[in-house]
Amino acid sequence: MTGHAVGPALARSTLDRAAYRRTDPRWLAEAWARARVLVVEAATGGRALVTGPEERPELLLLAPDAVPPHEPEVRLFLGVEADGTPVFALDAPLPELPGSRPMALRESGHLLSDRDAGLLTTAVALANWHARHLYSAMTGQPTAVGEAGWSRSDPEGRHTWPRTDPAMIVLVHDGVAGPDGRCLLGNNAAWPNRNGLLRFSCLAGYVEPGESAEAAVVREVGEEVGIVLDELEYVASQPWPFPGSLMLGYLARADAGQPIRVDPAEIAQARWFTRREIAAVLGGGGPELAGGLGVALPPPSSIAHFLITRWLDA
């Protein structure tokens, strides 16, 4: 089998966030002078510059005097490394630097070290939050950055702090062990085929107001594919800053004999895949769909990939 990661790829971090420093302007000014700075392009899928081999990239952090021109108030304080070095982020176009190349978090985040995965995920999430909160939701007035990037406030001093949207994601399976055990995956109606491949993934959706995450799992599965669940198990969570979700991952058992009834507004098609088929897809093969299309699975940086490989190795 594949051998799954200890945890979801973007749920890793080693940085001390040092939140108590966010309201200390004197310390922040001194810290900037000796900091390392991560430049990110949040609008392009969370890209940053990396160096090193393709299979093990390393984030390129810059000295403060090497970053693009900017106003001091847009600096995002991420935290402090174990050796005391402060780390900031800046949402700006990536500079062209010799020996570096751009890398997107969504596609390649799983290749980063724990330290780099935590830095880039946090920077992208924070930058995306700022981009979506330029105006107050209460008054419509413009807002300004505060607390070293961890709040925004309108002219009357009303504060807004970063929030993430809770979402559930679930791998439904039939509970059967071995290569003939099956999991249920869906092709989202918004996902076209690419290069002859149709992507299938776990079922997912946002947790609604007044609803528990577990209730959301049951509701979303019922709405999207018409399947009733017999058993539900929480596995892990992962930030997904595209633009600002926290994915709560579950495994769920269901009777595979139930008819699948997809909601066409959400799911183009759904089907059961055996462990043998999933292993083949991960190995570069897999079943052939109608029209000669092949199957693609979620990228390794996603919690969907983590759930699928965890079930595959069970």
- Say whether pLDDT at 17 is over 90: yes
Q: Which of 107, 137, 160 is the last residue of a domain?
A: 160
Distance CA 308, CA 306 (A): 6
Same domain, 97 and 124: yes
- For residue 202, the domain's CATH number is 3.90.79.10
Whether residues 155 and 289 share a domain: the answer is: no
Average pLDDT value for residue range 31-60: 96
Amino acid (one-letter) located at 293: L
Judgement on whether residues 46 and 120 belong to the same structural domain of the protein: yes
Domain that holds residue 46: 19-160
Are 117 and 220 contained in the same domain? no
Taking only the tens place, the pLDDT of each residue in 133-187 is: 999 999 999 999 999 999 999 999 999 999 999 999 999 999 999 999 999 999 9
Dump pLDDT digits (tens) for 82-111. Answer: 999 999 999 999 999 999 999 999 999 999
Domain match, 171 and 220 both: yes
Q: 2 or 297: which carries more pLDDT confidence?
A: 297
Report residue 4's pLDDT band, with 50, 70 and 90 as the boundaries.
very low
Are residues 184 and 106 part of one domain? no
* Pair 80, 142 in one domain: yes
Kindly state whether residues 139 and 189 are assigned to the same domain. no
Q: Looking at the structure, do residues 145 and 169 belong to the same domain, yes or no?
A: no
pLDDT digits (tens, 9 = 90+) for 232-281: 999 999 999 999 999 999 999 999 999 999 999 999 999 999 999 999 99
Band of residue 2 on the pLDDT scale cut at 50, 70, 90: very low
DSSP, residue by residue, the chain: -----SS-TTS----B--GGGTT-HHHHHHHHHT-EEEEEEGGGTSEEEEES-TTS-EE--B-GGGSPP--GGG-EEEEE-TTS-EEEEEESPPP--TT-EEEEHHHHGGGS-HHHHHHHHHHHHHHHHHHT-SB-TTT--B-EEEGGGTEEE-TT--EE----EEEEEEEEE----STT-EEEEEEETT---BTTEEE-B-EEEEPPTT--HHHHHHHHHHHHH-PPEEEEEEEEEEEETTTTEEEEEEEEEE-TTSPP---TTTEEEEEEEEHHHHHHHHTT-----GGG-EEE---TTSHHHHHHHHHHT-
Omega before 86 within 30 of 0, i.e. cis: no
In percent, the amount of the chain with pLDDT more than 90 equals: 95
139 occurs within a structural domain: yes
Question: 130 pLDDT band (50/70/90 cuts)?
Answer: very high
Give the pLDDT of residue 6: 78
User: Which has more pLDDT, 301 or 2?
Assistant: 301
**What is the dihedral sign for C-alpha 222, 224, 227, 230?**
negative
Determine the pLDDT at residue 1. Answer: 39
**Per-residue pLDDT at 247:** 98
Domain of 98: which CATH number?
Answer: 3.90.79
pLDDT level of residue 5 (50, 70, 90 thresholds): low
- pLDDT-based confidence at residue 293 (cuts at 50, 70, 90): very high
Q: Look at residue 313 and tell me whether its pLDDT is greater than 80.
A: yes
Distances (CA, A) of 291 to 57, 197, 249: 37, 11, 32
User: Rounded to an integer, what distance in angstroms lies between the CA atom of residue 10 and that of residue 13?
Assistant: 8
pLDDT for 3 beyond 60: no
Q: Do 235 and 121 sit in the same domain of this protein?
A: no
Would you place residue 290 in the very low, low, confident or very high pLDDT band (cuts 50, 70, 90)?
A: confident
End position of a domain, from candidates 102, 130, 160: 160
Looking at the structure, tell me whether residues 171 and 267 fall in a common domain. yes
Number of domains observed in the structure of the chain: 2
Count CB neighbours of 91 within 10 A: 23
Q: Which two tokens stand for residue 73?
A: 């108030």
